[in-house]
Structure 1
Amino acid sequence: MIDEGGPRIHESGLPDLSVVIPAYNEEHRLTHTLDAIADHLGDGDGDGGRAGNGRWGTWEIVIADDGSTDATRDLVTTRDDPRIRLVTTPRNRGKGHALRLGVAASRGRRVLVTDADLATPIEELERLDKALSEGNSAAIGSRSVPGATIGVRQHRIRELLGRAGNVLIRRTVVPGVRDTQCGFKLFDGDRAREAYAASRVNGWGIDAEVLRHLQRAGVPLVEVPVRWSHRPGSKVGPLDYVRVLAEITRIAARSLRRPRPADLYAALLFLLMSVALYSGRFFDPAHRYLPDSLRDQNQWEWFFAVTADNVAHFRNPLFTDLQGFPDGVNLMANTVMLGMSVPLTPLTLLAGPAVTLSLVMTLGLAATAAAWYWLIVKYVARGRIAAFLGAALASFAPPMVSHAHAHPNFVVLFMIPLIIDRALRLCTGTRVVRDGVVLGLMAAYQVFLGEEPLLLATLGMLLFAAAYAAVRRDTARASWRPLLRGLLIGASVCLPLIVYPLVWQFAGPQSYTDIEHNPRSFNSPLALLSFAERSWLAGDAERANALAFNTTEQNAFYGWPLALLALAILVRLWKRALVKALAFTAVAAAFLSLGREFRIPLTGITLPGPWELLADKPLFEAVIESRVAMICAPALGMLLAIAVDRLLATRRMAIRYVGHLGVALALLPLVPAPLRAVDRTAVPAFIADGTWKSYVREGESLVPVPLPDPGDAEALHWQTEAGLGFRLAGGYFNGPYGEERTGIYGAEPRFTSNLLRDVSDSGDVPPVNQSWREQARVDLAYWRAGVLVLAPQPNDGALRETVEKLVGAPGRWVDGVWVWDLRKGS
């Protein structure tokens, strides 16, 4: 409403602002109140603004008299100002009825509701007006948020009763709003008239009922700190508290009878979208494989299987020697998702790890989308369509779909929105201890779901907080103390729960220092603007594979139309602090994902990358930097939700048409195709029928030829199908290498494992000499090998000949595989 360029005249002749004041026997206070409001709206010229429209444009004041028996009506009718109007009711029916009558009579584009005592000074209107200018449709003058000041306090008993009632209202009717009863609120005019017309309460509970209506309608509302002082002569008597309780009970009962169908539909749609994405495997997980997962599906099924086996046999869930024998695997140093795999042990034992993994990834992706939807509705955009589209982008963006092939730790992210919500609650400073404790528990649980996603989420929150603090310094000043205190409380709760597993992870058996990633583990600027392989309409497998080092790490690929849409949103809604902060978060994350250095496309210019600042820091040294671009997904999703919410609220059809067309053109190319699935390679009968039991004794291992590694981990599938009955030499996991314990993928290589892998890749039989045979005996003894097993595969003839030369004996064909029984002297 503030117009520094002069007064605004509404083309329709309707006022810019309506001030609605409920009144009952207010003859002693009303004159001062009307003078104060008229002078302020008239920019303090002393004549109520009759000399001009003033800083607030054209205005009106509507006094809603609730059957007063004193001179309240005469004070209004005798004033010589047509902008001050009176509406009346024959008898006293309550504040709610008066407000409903007054708001219905209002005509302003914005409506201010204020009590006749002006406990909140009219000057605070400027704060509320600023909040509406930032995209909200309702601004609540609040005494309970950081930055609010209270002058004269109420009597202690009244204050305690008010707080108790407010807690009840927040718990049952208007969640998330801390001060529902403050009588100073500014609304979009049409929203106010709609909400008050829908109200049924005649008493003091109408404030809660109206806010509840706005929340359920998806209207963005915000609490704004104001100055407030108790005024004598309150009309609230002891019995009114009982009446309010009854009204709140009725409102809450109506809420229980009428849940929001849109929220249920959204959750169902997210589930259907997830099932459609995994449709190739979901209905037969034990016999279907996602080839674009490379070897990760086998690895993750093994993770779930080994955790269930450890839990069932009361073994340490942080370690196993079933793979990488005899050294074993530090499970905490691998992403085994103990937060899922441990509680789902009964399902894994009953149905198998393939079923568990399929359900975790399908339901986890849907739960992640539902969590982002809930967060967006609560803080960003109340409109359910806007929230659905934003959450869908956050959860089904191309990088999420890429990881959906076989990285559940980057798919099951439903805790991240909950952690963000708890951090935002801390900023309000109301229940710091409780929220800090809950945040600590949530963070501890997320550690057991995935540490890297938690680290990236923390980085994203820090980027957002820095940007938001820069544009809203008042909010930052009011929030940093309770936030810091809550974070310290959360850390004191979280650390004792995770300290032992983390010590095991970083200093336990088979721990490692850092790990070398693919040299292409950064994003090209082109990757940010291109389309992913699994994008249904615009997917380009050749280009995507050229810009990412494998199909599970296409961590950007948002497409240039979405980038243009985000830029348009930023330009159009630049005044909103939230838009600025989200845009900065997305741009900064995308920039960090470019790695230690990046080349400007189509030029030979190479510049230092911002990741250089973090690359060698603790924790960050193990992060694949291209994954930082995943932070962009929820940031872009929230920007999209804000824009769609704004589009749906506008009445200008041309803007709505162009806006919806832009949204469709940006999102349609990103719609993912179902993940590609193929029939799974059958497990050899030697394993499936249990024949292996005659060849492997206690303390020995089964050695596949070649040994399993990140390039071929089918032997992990053998092991899970055999119920983890034998130990494997080699494997696919993260472990140490050399005296410096540098992290590598797979077991520490030995002479024989390297030799067999080379033969498998090349098909060439090497000239095996005596020294090679001696080295093979040493390696087989190290692995405590009971049997060598060669399954049919490419170049299996060369492998068979090589093994025969190494062990000095021919193999035997047993149940579909070649076998060398080392216990019989082979």
Structure 2
Amino acid sequence: MTHERELPEAPDSRNAPALPDSPELTPTTEAPTPSPDLSVVIPAYNEQHRLTPTLDAITHHLAAHDARWPEWEIVVADDGSTDGTGDLVTARQDPRIRLVTIPRNRGKGHALRLGVATSLGRRVLVTDADLATPIDELERLDKALTEGNSAAIGSRSVPGATIGARQHRLRELLGRAGNLLIRRTTLPGIRDTQCGFKLYDGDRAREAYAASRVNGWGIDVEVLRHLHRAGLPVAEVPVRWSHQPGSKVAPLDYARALAEITRITLRSLSSLRSLHSLRSLHSLRSLHSLRPADLFAPFLFLLMSVALYSGRFFDPAHRYLPDSLRDQNQWEWFFAVTADNVAHFRNPLFSDLQGFPDGVNLMANTVMLGLSVPLTPLTLLAGPAVALSLVMTLGLAATAAAWYRLIVKYVVRGRIAAFLGASLAAFAPPMVSHAHAHPNFVVLFMIPLIIDRALRLCAGTRVVRDGVVLGLMAAYQVFFGEEPLLLAALGMLLFAAAYAAVRRDAARESWRPLVRGVLIGASVCLPLVVYPLVWQFAGPQSYTDIEHNPRSFNSPLALLSFAERSWLAGDADTANALAFNTTEQNAFYGWPLILLAFAILVRLWEQALVKALAFTAVAAAFLSLGREFRIPLTDLTVPGPWKLLADKPLFEAVIESRVAMICAPALGMLLALAVDRRLAARPLSTRYVGLLGVGLALLPLIPAPLKAVDRVDVPAFIANGAWKSYVREGESLVPVPLPDPGDAEALHWQTEAGLGFKLAGGYFNGPYGDERVGIYGAEPRFTSNLLRDVRNSGQVPPVNESWREQARVDLAYWRAGVLVLAPQPNDGALRETVAKLVGGPGRWVDGVWVWDLHERGLA
């Protein structure tokens, strides 16, 4: 996460802090340039003898590190000193060193609260006047904030800390006892809250100190408690520390600090009791941290999704997305048959309404039972076209909102940056391509929630609860789509490996609770999904593997080119040459975005998160190139990394080009980091130039609304129910040619007829042959192949008696009651061929040619 963040509340504490205008405060020097890189806040009470070397050490250190801290300020909060403390500061006549005076001694907490309130820095260092922790340790704390924490506290109690001169044994024992009490009651997990050397994100510090009420030594606990309750990460960093003579902590102050800590704890417990449960407390905390932007962003995502689907959204029953090929008909059938199964208490994992008589293994066809089952009432009431349209439109918006919340929680606090990052994650070119036809790759809001739960496990605070929730989430995602879950797991593994390599300390702390939580999640998930998975892989009409299009990999050029639906730069010819159909344009991020990502990587290379995200995106893009790939502009072919996974269980069914979809959220988070940094950049010219570059990179990715056309009318023979007199119980209706992946309009007939008849043939994934290899569509037979060839060629074959006998066998296998030929290209050749096969011409009935097989003794 970046350290340059938006302020969470509407007032800007950098420009107009309320507290400095208090009558107690009297700034004595001119304010420095707004928003320096670092503010050092020093509370001081009668520090005349120790303050001078402290100020010298700090100014010399910052001058020596001007590349990291080009602009800084020191704020000395004089807590009613009666010696020459204030005069030491004003005598320096350095506008970067400011004095805030308080008329009477109120305590360290009061001085810190007012000193931090007047600070202007993007980061705030709070240090004691004795500088018991050397200023050189600032770099360690700065590294921790760069890696995504909102605060880094110098600690004497974690491995790696060194202690020089020790304080009195009694003080040391009292300090340890106090820290133990704090860990047990107020701040679990933090070993040393009282070391006076802490670095904060500036906005977080001003918010936390402004919310504090303690005036004494307990303010450190109160501030850290505020950050903890807000869910902000705090790092405990080992430092060098040495006791300095002249401590202002009197024995009575330990009792006062204990009383303050007790009050803080009691306030927390009182709040907990008033909310009745920890769940309510979490909800209130989330509500408190909610900003207007957090409500406005999902609304904007919804508008974006409606705009994308505008051609179909307002009349889904009569509009069709032609670039979905036949998938819109297929998915509407999935929703319709699931609702029918649920309404009639049938097995939702199987149906024989299509592919009759063998049927369809619905679990092996990704019918999204996680949504199609609960949406049964809507499907039955409004129809499958409306249900599918709402699922895809609302699901895409929900996916964007889920990425937005994840980015706000873990990557950046700035809402504008988070919105742009989530927009790229959810509306990237691959997502828009799948938005034509694949709701299982559009409705992905569970994936960010699963990632969030895995990150919670890394913290190790509630491993059992988070593990159980992770298991339930994974089980639910299985009923949304297993392939997206597998790709998400692959992306998380790539990210975890990269992050562990650059943050080995974090990996050492996280791997045990993460592994334990994953095992708990697996023990919860597997019992819930074992039966559906056994049905999927070993049940009726299951298959072992499925052959994909030979071009189901990405060319390196596809990663740099623009998708067909790019509003400004789309080129259908180029996109179609680099992808095997419009629904599988799984890359096409465009060269401007790739250049922007490279610039972000160079500019923010010091951040571990950036390195891990960049590795994830590059590795996913590389894997998507397939088993082997040709180097562009050459004839040289080299082995691809996907060859290592292609034949492994689970991965053998994955379309490898889809692995590039992992790049979308990774690039979205990198974009959020860059925009957040640019929005805080100075001078303004630098900010505007950077944002202009971001805009130019994103502009070609804005998608045009998906193309929609008027839907082909269902023949009156189907719509008015005339088919009922031809199809008897246990028989099927056989369209000519049989429905298949090339033409599945008959599935629309069936849904419009209320699933009243069964169909031979169809568009689904099913087995073929004794080895049960997966194919698209029903297992082909002689007659279905013959009719498909006639449709494609327009040529009438020489039908002989053996062909007619084979047709009778096939019609008997399908239990056909009627053959139906609707007007279509080459329908004349089809009509003549069918007449030869069944021994006579058909009749024209309500807009179609009909062959009643009962009359001909073939039913």
2:738 and 2:853 mapped to 1: Cα distance?
A: 16
* Structure 2 residue aligned with 1:662: 693
* Structure 1 residue aligned with 2:125: 112
Indicate if the aligned counterparts of 1:195 and 1:214 stay in contact, CA closer than 8 A: no
- Which secondary structure state, in structure 2, belongs to the residue aligned with residue 743 of structure 1? strand
- Which of 590, 593, 605 pairs up with 1:574? 605
Distance 1:107 1:274, change over 3 A: closer
Distance 1:243 1:743, change over 3 A: closer
Q: Does 1:731 pair with 2:762?
A: yes
* Structure 2 residue aligned with 1:242: 263
* Structure 1 residue aligned with 2:518: 487
Distance 1:73 1:440, change over 3 A: farther
Q: CA deviation at 1:659?
A: 1.2
Distance 1:682 1:106, change over 3 A: closer
2:782 and 2:838 mapped to 1: Cα distance?
A: 14
Aligned residue pairs, count: 790
Q: Does 1:282 pair with 2:313?
A: yes
- Which of 114, 117, 120 pairs up with 1:101? 114
Q: Does 1:355 pair with 2:379?
A: no
1:124 and 1:352 mapped to 2: Cα distance?
A: 66
Report 1:207-226 matches (<5 A): 222-226=233-237
- Output one character per residue of 1:66-119: Cα deviation in whole Å (capped at 9) or x when no partner: 56xxxx754957989978987543446565532232235668775312468999
Distance 1:330 1:492, change over 3 A: same
Distance 1:522 1:694, change over 3 A: same
Q: CA deviation at 1:673?
A: 0.3
* Structure 2 residue aligned with 1:710: 741
What is the one-letter code of the residue matched to 1:496? P
Q: CA deviation at 1:360?
A: 0.4
Q: Does 1:512 pair with 2:527?
A: no
Q: CA deviation at 1:719?
A: 0.8
Distance 1:801 1:573, change over 3 A: same
* Structure 1 residue aligned with 2:664: 633
* Unpaired stretches in structure 1, ≥5 consecutive residues: 1-10, 44-48, 171-176
Q: CA deviation at 1:226?
A: 2.6
- Which of 421, 433, 451 pairs up with 2:482? 451
Q: Does 1:431 pair with 2:442?
A: no
Distance 1:152 1:315, change over 3 A: farther
Q: CA deviation at 1:427?
A: 1.3
- Output one character per residue of 1:544-599: Cα deviation in whole Å (capped at 9) or x when no partner: 11111100001111111111111111111112111111111111111111111111
Distance 1:79 1:652, change over 3 A: closer
Distance 1:453 1:55, change over 3 A: closer
1:257 and 1:628 mapped to 2: Cα distance?
A: 38
- Which of 622, 631, 635 pairs up with 2:653? 622
* Structure 2 residue aligned with 1:822: 853
Distance 1:18 1:741, change over 3 A: same
- Which secondary structure state, in structure 2, belongs to the residue aligned with residue 776 of structure 1? helix
* Structure 2 residue aligned with 1:7: none
Indicate if the aligned counterparts of 2:629 and 2:638 stay in contact, CA closer than 8 A: yes
Q: CA deviation at 1:415?
A: 0.8
- Which secondary structure state, in structure 1, belongs to the residue aligned with residue 345 of structure 2? coil
Indicate if the aligned counterparts of 1:533 and 1:541 stay in contact, CA closer than 8 A: yes
- Which secondary structure state, in structure 2, belongs to the residue aligned with residue 225 of structure 1? strand
Q: CA deviation at 1:638?
A: 0.8
Q: CA deviation at 1:332?
A: 0.6
- Which secondary structure state, in structure 1, belongs to the residue aligned with residue 553 of structure 2? coil
- Output one character per residue of 1:115-139: Cα deviation in whole Å (capped at 9) or x when no partner: 6899988775432121345587x43
Q: Does 1:338 pair with 2:349?
A: no
What is the one-letter code of the residue matched to 1:703? V
Distance 1:782 1:125, change over 3 A: same
Report 1:93-242 matches (<5 A): 93=106, 96-104=109-117, 110-114=123-127, 125-133=138-146, 138-141=150-153, 159=180, 164-166=185-187, 184-187=197-200, 191=203, 195=207, 201=213, 222-227=233-238, 233-234=253-254, 235-238=256-259, 241-242=262-263
What is the one-letter code of the residue matched to 2:151? A
1:501 and 1:50 mapped to 2: Cα distance?
A: 63
Q: CA deviation at 1:295?
A: 0.2
Q: CA deviation at 1:797?
A: 1.2
Indicate if the aligned counterparts of 1:433 and 1:489 stay in contact, CA closer than 8 A: yes
- Output one character per residue of 1:490-525: Cα deviation in whole Å (capped at 9) or x when no partner: 111111111111111111111101100000111111
Which TM-score applies when normalising by structure 2?
Answer: 0.83
1:52 and 1:569 mapped to 2: Cα distance?
A: 27
2:787 and 2:738 mapped to 1: Cα distance?
A: 8
What is the one-letter code of the residue matched to 1:225? E
* Unpaired stretches in structure 2, ≥5 consecutive residues: 1-31, 163-171, 244-248, 275-280
Distance 1:181 1:433, change over 3 A: farther
Indicate if the aligned counterparts of 1:534 and 1:672 stay in contact, CA closer than 8 A: yes
1:295 and 1:153 mapped to 2: Cα distance?
A: 75
1:215 and 1:649 mapped to 2: Cα distance?
A: 26
- Which of 769, 774, 782 pairs up with 1:751? 782
- Which of 590, 593, 607 pairs up with 2:638? 607
- Which secondary structure state, in structure 2, belongs to the residue aligned with residue 226 of structure 1? strand
Distance 1:56 1:377, change over 3 A: closer
Distance 1:651 1:437, change over 3 A: same
1:212 and 1:750 mapped to 2: Cα distance?
A: 70
2:842 and 2:836 mapped to 1: Cα distance?
A: 11
Distance 1:454 1:107, change over 3 A: closer
* Structure 1 residue aligned with 2:684: 653
Indicate if the aligned counterparts of 2:89 and 2:98 stay in contact, CA closer than 8 A: no
Indicate if the aligned counterparts of 2:562 and 2:590 stay in contact, CA closer than 8 A: yes
Q: Does 1:412 pair with 2:443?
A: yes
- Which secondary structure state, in structure 1, belongs to the residue aligned with residue 257 of structure 2? coil
Q: CA deviation at 1:199?
A: 5.3
What is the one-letter code of the residue matched to 2:623? L
Indicate if the aligned counterparts of 2:222 and 2:264 stay in contact, CA closer than 8 A: no
* Structure 1 residue aligned with 2:24: none
* Structure 2 residue aligned with 1:46: none
